[in-house]
Amino acid sequence: MKKIVLFASGSGTNAENIIKYFVQSKLGTVVAVFTNNPNAKVIERAKKYGVPTQIFSKEQLFESEVLQKINVIQPDLIVLAGFLLKFPENIIAAYPDKIINIHPALLPKYGGKGMYGMNIHNAIVANREKETGITIHFVNENYDEGNIIFQQNVVLAGDETPEEVAAKIHELEQKYFPTVIEGILNQKS
**Whether residue 103 lies in the annotated active site:** yes
Q: Which is catalytic among the residues 103, 121, 137, 170?
A: 103
Cβ atoms of residues 22 and 16 within 8 Å:
no
C-alpha–C-alpha distance, residues 152 and 172, integer Å? 7
Cβ atoms of residues 127 and 119 within 8 Å:
no
Q: Residue 188 has what pLDDT?
A: 75
Which residues of the chain are modeled with pLDDT < 50? Answer: none
C-alpha–C-alpha distance, residues 114 and 93, integer Å? 24
Domains held by the chain: number: 1
Q: Which amino acid is at 40?
A: A
Q: Residue 150 has what pLDDT?
A: 98
- Stated length of the chain: 189
C-alpha–C-alpha distance, residues 55 and 184, integer Å? 26
H/E run at residue 175: helix 162-187
Q: Residue 189 has what pLDDT?
A: 67
CATH classification at residue 135 = 3.40.50.170
Query: What domain range is 39 assigned to?
Result: 2-188
Binding residues for (6R)-10-formyltetrahydrofolate: 58, 101
Binding residues: 12-14, 58, 101
| Alpha helix ranges (H) inside 25-80 | 42-48, 58-62, 65-73
DSSP-derived 3-state class of residue 60 = helix
Determine if the peptide bond prior to 108 is cis (ω within 30°).
yes
pLDDT digits (tens, 9 = 90+) for 35-90: 999 999 999 999 999 999 999 999 999 999 999 999 999 999 999 999 989 999 99
H/E run at residue 131: strand 131-138
